[in-house]
Structure 1
Amino acid sequence: MPPIALITGITGQDGSYLAELLISKGYQVHGIIRRASTFNTARIDHIYTDPHDPHAKL
């Protein structure tokens, strides 16, 4: 089982870089974002998986 990391503020600059680094090191990464009127995942779109997708590999 891979190590697991939880990143608060994953869509921010530091959080998105940390997510990429940890994924490259084999971590399973989960993130928390601040509730906002718009859901902006631009910094993590290439690694984002929608947890509501029934086919998501979580």
Structure 2
Amino acid sequence: DGSYLAEFLLEKGYEVHGIIRRASTFNTSRIQHLYADPKSHRHGMMKLHWGDMTDSSSLVKVIASVLPTEIYNLAAQSHVK
């Protein structure tokens, strides 16, 4: 899922940007370890942006500000109970 891909890309030296949506159940526990440790060589390479994958204007805004060379879409609920 997205947290594993983000970790892999960070280990390869990529700067990784993710889109998170504002929700009543805000949860970044699956990626917290990727940007929380200021002593990590990955610190500062993981950036999160507020947005909604179903809203094209929010996607355009993030893409225009980041200007990515690659885009991966892993926006799915892989842990649905």
- Structure 2 residue 7 is matched with structure 1 residue 20: yes
**Aligned partner of 1:39 among 1, 7, 26:** 26
Question: Which one has a bigger Cα radius of gyration?
Answer: 2
Q: What TM-score comes out, normalization by structure 2 length?
A: 0.41
- Deviation of 1:36 after TM superposition, in Å, equals 1.7
Q: Gapped runs of 5+ residues in structure 2? A: 37-42, 46-81
Higher strand share: 1
Give aligned pairs, total: 39
- Deviation of 1:29 after TM superposition, in Å, equals 0.5
* CA distance 1:40–1:16, change in 2 (3 Å): same
- Deviation of 1:35 after TM superposition, in Å, equals 2.9
Residue 33 of structure 2 aligns to a residue whose secondary structure is coil
Runs of 4+ in structure 1 over 6 Å off: none
Higher helix share: 2
> What is the aligned-residue RMSD (CA, Å)?
2.1
- Matched-pair contact (CA < 8 Å) for 2:10–2:16: yes
- Structure 2 residue 11 is matched with structure 1 residue 48: no
